[in-house]
Structure 1
Amino acid sequence: MKVDITDILSIENKIVEQQVLSDLAVFKSKLGEFSITKKAPFVLHLENQDNKRVLIQGETDVTIAIPCDRCLEEVSVQIHLVIDRRYPLGNPSAEEDEDAEDTDYMTGSNLDVDRLIYDEILVNWPMKVLCREDCKGICRKCGTNLNYKPCSCDRTEPDPRMAAIQDVFNQFKEV
């Protein structure tokens, strides 16, 4: 969703609060595509601060379907997003230039709310997603989901530090 903020840019110290809803339905990243299952409208606070910068603030929650890291079952993960950005107006000074953020969410006088939401999801992405704390995962050999039923595969993994000794035993095995 694009929001026109021409009136905020043109009037010094103007404050506007606007209810917006993101059009983002899928979150795409290098990890894959994840569907956004739930999103709610939220209030976006926009403020022109002395014609030097525009303050952009808002909070919302989105629910994304992410596969479990162990068994690959889809898990609905709620992510709380807090938007707090400052968009510089005019030529930024040297110290403001050092603190400058990526401003790809602004095009002329249009604010791209979907880009803001995307950036916040990217920053707040969970490190590990589990369907439940004691998830057993899937069998490496047959692919059975061990949360539902056990499999008969031999799951003992030899210690790689002992591989050289195992080779010696295999060479001198009696026939």
Structure 2
Amino acid sequence: MVIDVSELFSNKKMRKKIQLDLEKDEFFYDNEFIQFSKPVKLDLILKPSGDEVDLIGSMETELLLTCSRCLEVFPHSINIQLNEKMSKTLKSEDEDIIFINDDRLDLDEIIENNIISMLPIKRICNKDCKGLCQHCGINLNQSACKCAIDDVDPRLAKLKEVFLTD
């Protein structure tokens, strides 16, 4: 969604309040699709501050992530407090300022960047997740496998044979 912010740069006393529910499907990040299970609720205030415009507010949504251990999809709630600075002039020394081109602010980019910064590094459905069996691939959270656990380093396999013979 794109918002026109031209009046904020021209009228320094003006404020713009934005409250909306944004329907989003998914976006691609780090070789996977991040899906939304709920609309993104935005409650924003845009106000001028010198040559810049401050964006202050909150964002709330729920994502569908894939567990790193069991590969099951699980819901993950996101609640982010936003505090962004925007400018029409490109300043190389400050990378935290969002450059606005043609007086149009792209909310999708701000939403996606803030969600990416809040994503867990290791996505786990719950702290007790057992994951998948390394041999047969069964989900150990749903059932137990009958695999014989015989992890022997191939370099030591001959030594094991010595202890097995009588």
* TM-score, normalised via structure 2 length: 0.85
Q: Report what 2:76 is aligned to.
A: 77
Query: Structure 1: where are the runs of 5+ without partners?
Result: none
Distance 1:84 1:19 in 2: 16
| Residues 110/145 of structure 1: CA separation in 2 closer, same or farther (3 Å cut) | same
Q: Counterpart in 1 of 2:105?
A: 111
Aligned sequence identity (%): 23
**SS of alignment partner, residue 38 of structure 1:** coil
Q: Equivalent residue for 1:101? A: 96
Pairing 1:43-82 to 2, within 5 Å after superposition: 43-50=43-50, 52-82=51-81
What residue number does 1:30 align with? Answer: 30
Aligned residues: 165
Work out the CA distance in 2 between the residues paired with 1:151 and 1:164: 27
SS in structure 1 opposite 2:98? coil
Q: Is the 8 A contact 2:63 2:75 kept in 1?
A: yes
Structure 2 stretches lacking a partner, 5+ long: none
Deviations 1:97-145 (A, max 9, x none): 42232636x3311111111000001111112222222111111221111
CA distance in 1, matches of 2:110, 2:16: 17
Structure-2 residue corresponding to 1:166: 157
Letter in 1 for 2:36: I
Letter in 2 for 1:62: T
One-letter amino acid matched to 2:157: Q
Which AA in structure 2 matches 1:19? Q
Q: Does structure 2 conserve the Cα–Cα contact (< 8 Å) formed by 1:60 and 1:81?
A: yes
User: What is the letter of the counterpart of residue 98 of structure 1?
Assistant: E
CA distance in 1, matches of 2:40, 2:30: 25
C-alpha distance in 2 between matches for 1:142 and 1:11: 65
For 1:143 and 1:165, locate their aligned partners in 2 and report how far apart those are by CA, in whole Å: 25
Name the TM-score, length of structure 1 as normaliser.
0.81
- 1:139 counterpart = 2:136: no
